[in-house]
Structures are given as structure tokens and as C-alpha cells.
Structure 1
Amino acid sequence: MGALTDGMGERLRTLRIQRGLSQTTLARSLVSASYVSLIEAGKRIPDREVLSELARRLGTSVDYLETGVDTAALQEQELAVRYADLSLANGQTDDALRSFRELQDAAVPSVRFRAAWGVTRALELRGELPEALATIEPLITESRADRFGEPTLLVLLNARCRMYREAGDVDLSITYGEEALAEAARLGLRGTEDEVRLATTLVGCYWDRGDLTRARLLSTEVIERAEQHGTHRAKGSAYWNASLVAEAEGRRRLAITLAERALGLLGETMEEHGLARLRMVLGWLLLRTDPPDLDRAASLLFKARTTLAEVGADVDLARCDLHLARLLLMRGSYEESLARTAQAFPSLDSLPVDRARAHLLRGRALIAQGLAGEDDLRTAEGLVAGARDRRRVAELWRELAETWESAGEPARALAAYRALADSLGVVSWPTPVRPRSARTSARPG
């Protein structure tokens, strides 16, 4: 722990003397008196459990022994963290981020740890995913060293997996998710709520990559574990991602049923941001049914958007606007669809797949009005060509192909269909063609 514990031995010795305790008395049934002597001399750093018990016997806190910060100052810093948490929950993302960054200079390690976690969450809400991912790695290292209790290691590992998925690096999110599940099993945490929620995130990652067999198998396991051991929140999370798997397999009515069940389970326990995202997913599912349920989808999406605007979730808000743009496009409200798409663009700079979808929707709305939307379609093709999110990439290529076809551009439609096959790893057989002269000379005379 390095500089964090500078002076700890001296503080321990001073308090021991003030309390009238000998080293033997302080060490009783916990450690040896010689070990206490080594701590006071700065030659040993006790583990967290020993330090916690020594602090209790001396009538102080671990944080004071580590930092020298008195109880009043510690309470003030703890209160500041709680206020920053409240600001984040109320959608004051910029204010919360500023407060968390100020608290990262606090003397108390536990306050600094919680403040750093707050910075990570605020950056994720702002859509600054590379920056958020950079901040979470030191937190994972600290948590693995068992220095702090909250957030738990599995919460941090889940957040890393989720953010890589949101950033479009699905392969890496799956790698980290699988490693995290294996670590949870080694730690004996299988079946806990944090482990179930981690597994549901991994189900979503498999879904994104198009690994539907793995997604279905893990989803079934997660639901069984959640039903046996999980809270309503764990069960709801399991049903949420199971609904995505059902949708990917074409079982859209089942997908809606599962999503509705998730919403019912999570309605009273989940924070508003999470509930808004679930309403957004359910609205998206209703747009994909045949025929689509436009009225109910609109109700869910507008309700989700109101909440997302309040909590300051910029990326999710932009994605909700894209769903609304599609809804308006399906209703024939082209100008309103274009306005919704324009609202989404500013928050999508670092998300090529979502930006491609925005250009595609704008191109479709323009073409539907007899205007030039081909530039937007070509921009969408350029953005999606380098993306790694296999399932969403395939969906975009198909929609691009169908849009080019309806716009009377069969050559571009064919190229998009070929890109769709390539995105799924379908390799065509080479077809050798003989030169015309060879074919001619081979004819019988």
C-alpha cells in the first residue's frame, strides 16, 4: 500500500500508549507481541482483517491508522461522496463528475476508491467509454488486493465487460466476461446476485456477436440459478437478456413475454436508469413484431426518453432517439424522424455502429421524401465496414441492402448483401471463368 500507510506504525504506537496498553495486551489472541512491535517500527504492514481488529481495540478506525485523518474529517469526506452519488443518481452528471474528481485527492483510501468508481460511472453515462475503461483498471487491481469492500470485485468486472460491449469491442468483452465468471467460480461466488448479473451481461455479449447457442445455454443456466438463489433484481436481469436471445432466434412473442416479465420483476427495485433502458429494449422489440405494435412502442420509448434525459445518460438517450426516429419513419412522419435523428448525432461520435444507424435512418427518411439520401447511406457503409459488433453489423448491412434495392440501386444492394455475408464469415467459392477465346475454340466444328 506504499505511501498510504506512511506513519501507520507511529500512530498505532501513540494510540496504544495513550490507551495504556502493552504490546502483549494489544496483540492478545490476534498476533504475537513481536508482530505488533514490527508494525510499530514500520517493518510490517498487517492485512486488512488484523488491522481492522487492532483499530477496534484501540477505539479508532482503519482509515485513521492508515492516513491519520480524524473521525470528523472522515465523516465529512464520506458525506461528500454520498452527495456526489446522489447528484449522479439525479442526472447531474457533470456536477457529480466534478465532485468525484475533487474527492480523488482525499487522504482516506476508501474515499478515494469510491470517488474513482464514481468517476468511472459518470464517464460511462456521458458516453466517454475509453476514458471510463482506463479508470476502471486500477479499481480492479485494488479490489483484487482485497483493500476495499464496495463496490465488489464482481461489480467492477461486470462494468468492464459491459463497457467494452457498449464500445463495440464485443470479442474483448466476451473474453473479460468469461474470465470474470471463472474467477467468480474460484471465489465460491457462483449463484450470488453479482455473479448472476455478470452472467446476464455475458449473455448479451454472446447475443451481440451472434453466438446464439452459447447465449441460449448460458441464459438457461442463469435463469435456473436466479430462480434458486437470486433476488427479484437478479431474476429480472436474467429474463432481460433471455428476451434478446429469443428475439435473435425469431421467437419475438416469447421475447416480449420475457422482457415484460423482467420489467415486472425489476419495477420496484431497479434504479430509474436501468428501468428506462429496459423500456427502451421492450419498445424496440415491439417495433420488430409482425405487425409492429407502434402505439405501445411509442408509449414505452417516450417514457424511457423522459427518464434518460433526467438522469443524464447521453448515449442511452441518443439510442432511444434513434428508436423513436425509426418509429416515426414507420409511421410516415419523415420530418419528425429527421429531427429525432439530428438530436442523436452529437452523442454518437465514439460509437460507429450507432452512428451508422443514424445515417441510415436519415438516408431512408430523405429518400422516402424524394430527396437525396444516398450520401448518408454511403457514409453508413463506411462506418459499419470497420465495426466488430457482428450481429448489429449484419442487421445494418441487410437494411442497407434493402434500402438500396428500394431506391433503385441494384448494384449497391448486391454489394451490401455480399458485405452482409462477409460480416457473418460466409466465404464464397472461387468460380474460375475461361477466357472467351478458349470457350469458342472448344466448340465442336
Structure 2
Amino acid sequence: MTEPSVGDRTARNWTQPAFGARLKQLRIERGLSQGALAGDGMSAGYLSRLERGQRQPTPRAVAHLTARLGVPASVFDETVPTSQQHLQQLLATATGASELNGLETALTEAVESADVASPELRWQALWLLAEHAGRHGDTATELRHLRELCAVADSIGAPGLRSRAKSRLARCHRSLGEAEQALRYAADAAAIAREHHLPETELLPILLVLASAEAELGRLPEASALVQEILPLTERVPAALAAQALWASATVRGRQGDHTGAQSLLATALERLDSRDDLSLWMRLRLTVASLHLQSKPPRTAEAAAHLAQAEPALRLIGTELHRQQFLTLKAHLAFAEGAIDQARELCAEIDALDLRLTFRDRHRYAVLSSRVQILDGHVDEGVRRLRQLAQQAEDTFNMDLAAETWRLTAEALAPRS
């Protein structure tokens, strides 16, 4: 590592968290990971602490970083506007935390400030705010932040930021059941990633949402081709990302009616992901596997119950309201499949009293379940009417697998009356 001059050692007085925020901004502008910027002369952990404002930079560290970034040390001496400095401080506190812990209002106000000149800081703040909203099932707020995030990313022009923003927006549209919009943004993100040869860890999450959107629109050959591209990459990426890739691939297999293949991929994901890698993902995978078992013909109730039991302790520890609602609806599906109609009815009443934050598909399946309970309770005409409405809604939003399943259940409900 090149040593700074004596003058550099004594003349500069870099302060935190402004130094860390500026360092992170420069790194992101260049599309570098922390490991890539640190190189052989610095640990990624030390660099992470610098960016979070938890360590004071030394002249030797600054000399190494400026050489890697190709900038003079003076870039860290620039005067930062008050509101921008406030945003930097908020980001230094929020970055790396699992929750914003009450910072979301302050972050939102700071990012909307007219004199925050740095689009890179706005991008970081909007990303954190969108993540927070999505984690808690507030899709309207998530969508608003993500649309602005895409606009900011386009103004910056960095391919990595543009592809990540569009991919995240595609995921949000998919959760809302808007598969066409999801496909459009995911395809844009994939085109950017391929054109600029972004690393596999950047490309893979984009391919996951693209494959899912293709499958939901009934474009199964295209979705299958993407799965064939995705699966080999799972051997070369971190465990958490590999698990998400196997999960998305299982989703496509499930849309094709290959529930055995889907369960095999999810079983591999469960085996490869330790709860210490990502407890939230570990929990959500078990909820997904339970859901898949309940969608089997006939439902595999024992296996579903076992996975729900595994997920419950993690749910109590780190689950959000969204996760709790997913768990409750799966318990209701399980009770119905086991023939415990009274329990299913009680759970439906509990769910109906909530401000639902479920994805479009989970809402749809729950509404179908609620209609079937209505029919068993003797409200046949009302239950069948709701099923028909749900089937038509699924068709109108191009969720053809949901539509086909709902029409089938409608026919079953009418069969005894024919």
C-alpha cells in the first residue's frame, strides 16, 4: 500500500460519519462491492465499519482507498450541506440494521429535502425505505419509493443501481399480482445486467423475478429456459442467494404442475440454508414449503404442519405483521384440509379482522378458502358468486394458474346441485 506523504498525515482531519457516507457514495457510484474496493490491503469488515462511521479513518487507510477509487484525498474535505449531512448521519445509523427502528419518518423527510444534492444518498435512503415497507407488507408505500428509486438510478446512470432498482420494482408489481408490469421491469433489469456484464450475484436476483413473472403469465417455455440458466448459478453464489434461486425455480416448477420437482428444489434449499445465514429467509422458506404441501393433490397435511411448527419460533422472534398473517392463513388452510372446519372458521374470523398485507396470490388463496367455508356453512349462492368473481379477477390479471384452480373449485361447489 502506498503511504501518504507527511503533509497528508498531518494536514487532514476527516470526521465521521461524513467520511463514511462519502466513501460509500464513491464506492456505489463505481459499482464496487466492499470486498472489491478493499482489495488485498484492507479487510472488508474494516471498510464496512468506516462506511458506517464506526471507525475513524487513518491516513494510511485513506491513501489506500483513494488509490483504489482513483480520487484525491480532498474529496473527503468537501463541505456538506446541513440537510445532506443529516441524511448521511441517518444512513450511517440505519445501514446494516435489520429494522429502521423508527427512523423511517426521519429518513423520508430527509430524502424529500430540496437541498439534498447527492442522488447517490437519495438512492441509498429510498432503497432502505422500500425494503422496510416491503418487509412489513406496505406495498403502496414500497411502490412509491421504488418508482422514485428507479428515477434516481436513471439520473445517476450506474448500471448496477439501475438494474437493482428495476428488479426490485418488478418484485413489488409481482407481489401485487401485476405480472405484466413485473415482466416489463424485470426484462429491462436483465437487459441492463447482461449488457454491462454485471456479476452473477447481481444478475441472479433479476433472473429469479423474471422467471416467476414469465411463469405467472403462462409463458412456461420461457420460464423453464430461465430456470435452466438459474440452477447452475446456485453452485457459485452465497447460500442465502442460492436458496432464493432454488425457491424461485421451485415456483416455476409448481406453475408447470410439477409439484414433486418443486418440492425437491425447496428441500435442497432448506438443506443448504442454515438459520444462521439468514433467519428471516430460513423462516419464509418453511412457510413456502408448507404452502406448497397444502396445494398438493391431495394436500400433504402432516408435512405442512411440521414446517409450520419449525417456522413458528422464528416467527415469534423476528417475524413482521406480514409474516404473522401468512402464518395464520396457512394455519387456516391446514385446518380446512384436515377437515377441522370449526377451527378454519375461527381462523378466518381472526384474519378478516386484520388489515391484510398479504401478496395478491396469498390474498386470492385466502379469499377462495373463505368462500369454501361459506359454502360449507350453507351460504352456497354467496360463496359460489365470490369464487366466480375471484376466478375472473385472476384471469383479468393474467394469473392463469390461479384462475384455473378457482374455476375448478367453483365447478366442484356446483356439482352436488346439478
TM over 0.5: yes
1:359 aligns with 2:393: no
Quote the offset at 1:266 in angstroms: 2.8
Q: 1:402 to 1:74 in 2, by over 3 A?
A: closer
2:206 corresponding residue in structure 1: 198
Q: 1:97 to 1:333 in 2, by over 3 A?
A: farther
Q: Deviations over 1:24-70 (max 9, x none)?
A: xxxxxxxxxxxxxxxxxxxxxxxx67xx7899635452xx6363459
1:252 aligns with 2:259: yes
Q: Deviations over 1:325-366 (max 9, x none)?
A: 111011121122123223434344786654443332123234
The letter of the residue matching 1:324 is: K
Q: 1:74 to 1:312 in 2, by over 3 A?
A: same
Aligned length: 352
1:402 aligns with 2:402: no
Larger Rg: 1
Give the RMSD, CA atoms, in angstroms.
3.7
Task: Give the share of equivalent positions with the same residue, in percent.
Answer: 19
2:303 corresponding residue in structure 1: 296
Tell me, yes or no, if the aligned pair for 1:341 and 1:362 is still in contact at 8 Å: yes
Q: Deviations over 1:261-289 (max 9, x none)?
A: 11222335653332222111211222234
Q: 1:269 to 1:399 in 2, by over 3 A?
A: farther
Secondary structure of the 2:98 match is helix
Tell me, yes or no, if the aligned pair for 1:204 and 1:241 is still in contact at 8 Å: yes
Q: Counterparts of 2:82 and 2:343 in 1: how far apart (Å)?
A: 57
Q: Deviations over 1:171-204 (max 9, x none)?
A: 1101111121111011111x51121111012112
The letter of the residue matching 1:224 is: P
Q: Counterparts of 2:133 and 2:183 in 1: how far apart (Å)?
A: 22
1:141 corresponding residue in structure 2: 151
Q: Counterparts of 1:171 and 1:354 in 2: how far apart (Å)?
A: 18
Q: 1:258 to 1:377 in 2, by over 3 A?
A: same
Q: 1:259 to 1:351 in 2, by over 3 A?
A: closer
Q: How does 1:6-405 map to 2 (within 5 A)?
A: 57-59=72-74, 61=76, 65=78, 67-68=80-81, 76-82=89-95, 85-88=97-100, 95-104=102-111, 105=113, 109=118, 110-146=120-156, 152-189=161-198, 192-227=200-235, 229-268=236-275, 270-304=277-311, 307-308=314-315, 310-311=317-318, 313-345=320-352, 346-348=354-356, 354-368=362-376, 370-372=377-379, 374-387=381-394, 388=397, 389-405=399-415
The letter of the residue matching 2:265 is: L
Q: Deviations over 1:143-167 (max 9, x none)?
A: 3444789x84433222111110001
Secondary structure of the 1:386 match is helix
More relative contact order, 1 or 2 (CA 8 Å, 6+ apart): 2
Tell me, yes or no, if the aligned pair for 2:326 and 2:358 is still in contact at 8 Å: no
Q: Counterparts of 2:254 and 2:84 in 1: how far apart (Å)?
A: 54
Secondary structure of the 1:210 match is coil
Q: 1:180 to 1:269 in 2, by over 3 A?
A: farther
Q: Counterparts of 1:282 and 1:310 in 2: how far apart (Å)?
A: 20
Tell me, yes or no, if the aligned pair for 1:356 and 1:379 is still in contact at 8 Å: no
Tell me, yes or no, if the aligned pair for 1:329 and 1:337 is still in contact at 8 Å: yes
Secondary structure of the 1:219 match is helix
Structure 1 length-normalised TM: 0.68
Tell me, yes or no, if the aligned pair for 1:355 and 1:380 is still in contact at 8 Å: no
Tell me, yes or no, if the aligned pair for 1:356 and 1:380 is still in contact at 8 Å: no
Q: 1:404 to 1:74 in 2, by over 3 A?
A: closer
2:47 corresponding residue in structure 1: none
Q: 1:118 to 1:282 in 2, by over 3 A?
A: same
Secondary structure of the 2:95 match is helix
The letter of the residue matching 2:408 is: R
Q: Deviations over 1:59-115 (max 9, x none)?
A: 452xx63634599968743443238x3334xxx6xx353343244349584544322
Q: Counterparts of 2:83 and 2:369 in 1: how far apart (Å)?
A: 58
1:39 corresponding residue in structure 2: none
Q: Counterparts of 1:260 and 1:289 in 2: how far apart (Å)?
A: 15
Secondary structure of the 2:234 match is helix
Tell me, yes or no, if the aligned pair for 2:375 and 2:384 is still in contact at 8 Å: no
2:23 corresponding residue in structure 1: none
Quote the offset at 1:170 in angstroms: 0.4
Secondary structure of the 1:188 match is coil
Structure 2: any 5+ residue segments left out of the alignment?
Answer: 1-7, 13-28, 31-65
Tell me, yes or no, if the aligned pair for 1:298 and 1:327 is still in contact at 8 Å: yes
Tell me, yes or no, if the aligned pair for 2:126 and 2:145 is still in contact at 8 Å: yes
Tell me, yes or no, if the aligned pair for 1:164 and 1:172 is still in contact at 8 Å: yes
Tell me, yes or no, if the aligned pair for 1:286 and 1:297 is still in contact at 8 Å: yes
